[in-house]
A and B are shown apart, each in its own frame.
Chain A
Amino acid sequence: MYKYLLCWRYLRTRYIALASIVSVMLGVATMIVVNSVMAGFAGKMRDRLHGVLADLIVESRSYEGFWNYEEVMARVKEVGGDDVVAMAPTMETPGMLRINRGGQAAESRLVQIIGVRPEDRAKVGDFAEYLFDQEGNRIPPSLEVTDAIRARSPAGRELKELESQPPDPFLESTREWLETRREEQVPIHGAFLGYALATYHPGDGRDDIFLAEMGSKIALAFPMQAKIPQTGADDFAVVGYFKSGMSEYDSTHVYVPLEELQRARNLIRPSDGKGSVNQVQIKVREGVDLDKLADKLQLAMEKLSPMFFHVWTWEEKQGPLLAAVAIEQSILNILLFLIIAVAGFGILAIFSMIVVEKTRDIGIMKALGATTGGVRNIFLGYGLLLGIVGSGVGMVGGLLFVRYINEIEKGLSLLLHHKVFDDSIYYFDQIPTLVETHTVVAIVIGALVIAVGASVWPARRAAKMHPVRALRFE
């Protein structure tokens, strides 16, 4: 009984020991905040990566792709059965984008050109959720160049101005002339342009500037299928913007109609008029083990055409990025845990001092019949109690910090006259956080183990103290 009483009294009377657990507290709080924010970011990033990529991708090793994609899709359906929810054939190729900005000015960019059937593509992922018009409204997944798009071209805008004027013959001929100009200005095929490709971000809270407005013409160049490498080119009208929030995608992706890309790249087989694709994107039922299904599909594809296909899961496709995030998080955790380990040495030092200070008390307790184990347990219990207080306060503090992180960020930004969390980089309006219970529990247990571990040595010293020498200690 005396052990509990003394632990409790020591905790309440030794403020120096409480000082030693401030570092435990800060360590625990920091680890919880950092892990929650990193988990939040990683989770958001995974969502977005997964939204852009389908669950599984059957990809050919050559850029020319394969013509028998219907056969491939049938095979996938056969192997996957009900697990396969939707499929979309896709042609992906690197290329060059050129945005004319009137006069001599033009922007050229390296891009990833993706030929899709937008409705199909929308079924295999969150593609449709990332499509916006120039005003920031969501638009349906359609690459059709509508009259509304045409009306946004320079000639279209002039035509609109003429509408309100009273009819006269001169106006009529002007209108006809403008209508032909409009057809020339707006290509017949539409494209969704990556948002970061289409805009310039001035920062400082000012609106983004559009380099390629809706209805404007963009030119794409890409490799054509031929014996010797050749470049093909085609014009497209911007019908919307692709904004996933992953800058890697938003600054490279250009979506165009699959059939048009096949035609322009000379990938339509003259014998039957079929075009080739180099990917089949597959959405599977929720809860299906992607790796297992990928293995099964890989086997089926080998039978269809050996060494030609590769079946990826979306995570494999983004392997290096996801792995990098995981490594970052674990290294950060190791470093932060060292903070708590340092705190452990603080506890060790202060405990050693307390044991020396308590030498006579230990002698008295032994004279009154306290056992060696009992004396040891006083200090181990004291260490545990300090650990509980430190990690408990740290945990509450950390969780509160995470809960109000956006408010704290705003306060800090005001105080420093500088935006701490620049939302234009991630396109998040708030700092994403995710508190994982198992992480919090692991951190708290780790801190407790360190606190108790640091008190083992002083506790053993106290327990081993000879009662007579302890009583004579001055």
Chain B
Amino acid sequence: MTSHIAAVGLRKSYRKGKIEVPVLQGVEIAAERGELVAVVGASGSGKSTMLHLLGLLDQPDAGEVTLDGRRIDDRPDRERDRMRNRTFGFIFQFYHLLPELSAVENVMMPHLIREGLFSYMRKRKTIRRDAHEMLERVGLGHRATHQPSEMSGGEIQRAAIARALVGRPEVLLADEPTGNLDAATGQGVLDLLRDLNRERSLTTILVTHDQQIAHQADRVVRLAEGRIEEWAPALV
């Protein structure tokens, strides 16, 4: 059986002035459909970089990313844009809601990007309803019309999760989703992710440096010195 999403021999290095800094040196990672994989590692170990490569936000220097066994990292820009919109959902450590838009508008964003003016006008009721339902699901139904500046960190992160999932992606990529939250709120967010992962059999790759969090995943891998190693059996 082929993995849902997998990376083979990923290499990536950054230039700092004249020095080339290798970040990933042949990363191998795979996740089955519906699996929640946690990636741990020290800060600066390249966890985010790996996630960006998996989510087609960046291109690897070598190696490949496959989805259902088909290579996706070398597709043309337009198709990569489309896959980011439909196949992947992103959650970031710093939430990143657009400050000019209300919570529900932020959650609508993937749909707004997907649809043109006229198709949006046709589907606007469904789109709005989906967004409201998603906000209800993450427990923010009462905050729909609030601006991000009026919401707490936990609420914003839950809105960001709603945004990541409203477009019904197949793969959720979460970059330290609890990194900026206190322990209790972080646990709430994680429970939510766990539930959604089960409900929708959503393949989830979660990057974290918090071992408490990591231990709740199906599987934990460790990124160190630019390579992935299986780390410990999941406790769940």
Q: How many residues of B contact A (CB 8 A)?
A: 32
**What is the 8 Å Cβ interface bit string for chain A, positions 1-35, against chain B (1 contact, 0 not)?**
11011100110010000000000000000000000
| Chain A interface residues (CB < 8 Å from chain B) | 1-2, 4-6, 9-10, 13, 360-361, 363-372, 374, 466-468, 471
| B115 & A1 in contact (Cβ 8 Å cutoff) | yes
User: Which residue of A5, A9, A374, A468 is within 8 Å of B52 (Cβ)?
Assistant: A468
Stretch from B79-87, B150-158, B212-220 contacting the other chain: B79-87
**What is the 8 Å Cβ interface bit string for chain B, positions 12-45, against chain A (1 contact, 0 not)?**
0000000000000000000000000000000000
| Chain B interface residues (CB < 8 Å from chain A) | 49, 52, 55, 57-58, 77-78, 81-86, 90, 92, 94, 96, 98-101, 105, 109-110, 112-117, 120, 163
User: Which residue of B98, B112, B114 is within 8 Å of A364 (Cβ)?
Assistant: B98
Which of A9, A374, A466, A468 has the most chain B CB atoms closer than 10 A to its own CB? Answer: A468
Q: Name the A residues within 8 Å of B86 (CB-CB).
A: 369
Q: Name the A residues within 8 Å of B105 (CB-CB).
A: 5
Q: Name the B residues within 8 Å of A471 (CB-CB).
A: 57, 92, 96
| B82 & A1 in contact (Cβ 8 Å cutoff) | no
A2-B113, A5-B112 given as contacts; is B85 within 8 A of A368 (CB)? yes
| A367 & B115 in contact (Cβ 8 Å cutoff) | no
User: Which residue of B57, B77, B120 is within 8 Å of A367 (Cβ)?
Assistant: B57
Q: Name the B residues within 8 Å of A6 (CB-CB).
A: 98, 100
Q: Name the A residues within 8 Å of B100 (CB-CB).
A: 6, 9-10, 13
User: Which residue of A13, A368, A371 is within 8 Å of B109 (Cβ)?
Assistant: A368
| A368 & B113 in contact (Cβ 8 Å cutoff) | yes
- Provide 18 A-B residue pairs closer than 8 Å at the C-beta atoms, listed in order of the A residue: A1-B112, A1-B120, A5-B101, A9-B100, A9-B101, A10-B100, A361-B99, A366-B84, A367-B55, A367-B90, A367-B92, A369-B82, A369-B110, A371-B81, A467-B58, A468-B52, A468-B57, A471-B96
Q: Name the A residues within 8 Å of B120 (CB-CB).
A: 1
Q: A361-B99, A466-B58 are in contact. List 14 more A-B contacts (CB 8 A).
A: A6-B98, A9-B100, A10-B100, A364-B96, A365-B109, A367-B55, A368-B163, A369-B82, A369-B84, A369-B113, A369-B114, A372-B77, A471-B57, A471-B92
For B51, the closest partner residue in chain A by CB is: A468
Q: Name the B residues within 8 Å of A367 (CB-CB).
A: 55, 57, 84, 90, 92
**Whole-angstrom CA separation of A360 from B55 in the bound complex:** 17
**Whole-angstrom CA separation of A467 from B49 in the bound complex:** 12
Q: Name the B residues within 8 Å of A368 (CB-CB).
A: 84-85, 90, 109-110, 113, 163
| A468 & B113 in contact (Cβ 8 Å cutoff) | no
**Whole-angstrom CA separation of A19 from B92 in the bound complex:** 34
